[in-house]
Structure 1
């Protein structure tokens, strides 16, 4: 890159906190280092996360562990086919003593919300999250309720079992900063998981976890995003990657300008997690697949040939020239 960049922010306290969070996660979650890095990146970047993986790879457990380490209000929603929007947002009940209607807030009114198996609820229930996730407010009976500055949704879904599920609409998928794929652990990590369960005394319980980072600290760290340096050549690099998704013959619907902004913010957050106050091309290449893979629609021919969004995004990134 042409411009000379030097460290200007003191990230000592931030790095120490993030290190403590990672170490606590490692006491329960074995391996999955890339997933943890991306999840923390999304949290710092003030974005919602969609965790996708087959049953048993610890998607829900990871979300619960992270929520324990943040000293904030936590709520869990188990999405089912019979779940109604009022079960998420809350209901208005007539108060006979006061002769007026009272609003009883639903479980969505929290700071960190785990939405388990989000694709099991019908469209009208999923639509209840549209306004909440985008504007951090809920409008019920004409009254708007603020969700708070920290409001973050971590949703999980199973990509294999499709019976009894409802495909998330593109508008809702676009509200997730990242879609993170949790894969099977490698052999060495699976052996370690078995050892931990065999030696039961070494298992760390969720109830034993104590908050590592406060709500105010996390909000303050999110404010560091605006101070991270991104040179013009990297802005052009991001724009080129996004534009490549719109010109690819294998992609029916490319990424929007919102996706470009998401890549920018995620790159800044990841740079902070690496202890830097400036973005490098590698930061962009690392976060881009998770930011873009759920925002693209492939052509029928590409799908028939066995392509998927993640594979295509990685291919497009390699085709775009990296700034010097």
Structure 2
């Protein structure tokens, strides 16, 4: 076993320990935890979707503690301005105006996870700042460049309340590696635990019980790069991924059929398929998925395991079909995975 293989083996054990510890804080979310772990090691930002109170903030706080970095949070409101994320002004104890760092700058380079709650309530100007931070992991603050080399952005969309919201543009959605839906646990024993076990009633105490730095955030970039260089993709797997990409734009050409009586041709609902960035990030996530399973190469199962979360939010429908996006996109993705033959 060479040095790189030994490094990845050791880090895989840490990643599995990370998942086990996260599951202590948020129960009944095994698939969500695996997807978030995949995003962490693929260095991809995540769009979260779920109802109020299902544990999104608790999950992210748990990950911030387990990787040892700083956690910051901002609430999306209609009056939030871009500068509110960088600094805030107030009257100090001496009665004079004072300026303090905002949530994106107060932790400096130690910021590991930034959670933007209800991003669709914020103005497009705020989205623009966040997109730059996500793309460049830096921003201009206090007349200098502030680097955020370890930053991962998680943004939440409230899918229940739509009043006074700004829908996220397709270009903005494409910046997120994944969109992950978090629902309440289905099992009765898990629901009973959330209701009656006191440890789940105090989030601060719950997070404090978790070990710090199981996966040191400063090294994640190096490990992520090693995963991408070490996990191989065969020519057959590459051809499979290419056919999946083409099917996202022309699903009808691959035999995808929608059962909706109003849609006779799957091609007619499509405005654009997955972007090159999207397919690149699909394969980044698939390599991490293979690594977490102890494999040295990507399999079709690895691609399929992350396909919906990495591609569905990137599919652009004709405007007339956007209001029915959840049902149509779900059927499209299922049809693509069902009709494009795997090697």
TM-score with structure 1 setting the length = 0.86
Matches within 5 A, 1:175-214: 175-186=175-186, 188=187, 190-195=188-193, 197-200=195-198, 205-211=206-212, 212-214=214-216
**1:288 equivalent in alignment to 2:307:** yes
The count of residues paired between Structure 1 and Structure 2 equals 305
1:257-310 deviation digits (Å, cap 9, x = unpaired):
111101110101111111222111100011111001111122325865973323
Of 227, 232, 245, which aligns to 1:242? 245
The answer for the alignment partner of 2:167 in structure 1 is 167
The answer for the alignment partner of 1:315 in structure 2 is 335
Supply the distance in 1 between the matched residues of 2:37 and 2:292 (Cα, whole angstroms): 8
Distance 1:280 1:81, change over 3 A: same
Unaligned runs of 5+ in 2: 91-97, 106-110, 252-266
How far 1:52 moved relative to its partner? 0.5
Contact map agreement 1:9 1:277 (CA 8 A) in 2: no
Supply the distance in 2 between the matched residues of 1:305 and 1:76 (Cα, whole angstroms): 29
Q: Secondary structure at the match of 1:13?
A: helix
Supply the distance in 1 between the matched residues of 2:217 and 2:272 (Cα, whole angstroms): 37
How far 1:135 moved relative to its partner? 1.6
Distance 1:133 1:302, change over 3 A: closer
Distance 1:264 1:103, change over 3 A: farther
Matches within 5 A, 1:270-285: 270-285=289-304
Comparing 287-296 and 193-202, the one that deviates more: 193-202
How far 1:103 moved relative to its partner? 9.1
Supply the distance in 2 between the matched residues of 1:241 and 1:103 (Cα, whole angstroms): 51
**1:231 equivalent in alignment to 2:234:** yes
Unaligned runs of 5+ in 1: 1-7, 94-101
Supply the distance in 2 between the matched residues of 1:308 and 1:160 (Cα, whole angstroms): 19
Distance 1:141 1:270, change over 3 A: same
Q: Secondary structure at the match of 1:309?
A: helix
Distance 1:92 1:276, change over 3 A: farther
Supply the distance in 1 between the matched residues of 2:42 and 2:335 (Cα, whole angstroms): 25
How far 1:218 moved relative to its partner? 2.3
The answer for the alignment partner of 2:224 in structure 1 is 222
The structure where helix makes up a greater share of residues is 2
**1:119 equivalent in alignment to 2:120:** yes
Distance 1:119 1:22, change over 3 A: same
The answer for the alignment partner of 1:60 in structure 2 is 57
Comparing 134-143 and 203-212, the one that deviates more: 134-143
How far 1:183 moved relative to its partner? 2.5
1:135-175 deviation digits (Å, cap 9, x = unpaired):
21224598543221x11101111122101211111111111
Supply the distance in 1 between the matched residues of 2:125 and 2:138 (Cα, whole angstroms): 17
The answer for the alignment partner of 1:138 in structure 2 is 139
Of 31, 41, 46, which aligns to 1:44? 41
Supply the distance in 2 between the matched residues of 1:303 and 1:202 (Cα, whole angstroms): 37
How far 1:209 moved relative to its partner? 1.9
Contact map agreement 1:89 1:128 (CA 8 A) in 2: no
Contact map agreement 2:50 2:182 (CA 8 A) in 1: yes
Supply the distance in 1 between the matched residues of 2:197 and 2:83 (Cα, whole angstroms): 44
The answer for the alignment partner of 1:129 in structure 2 is 130
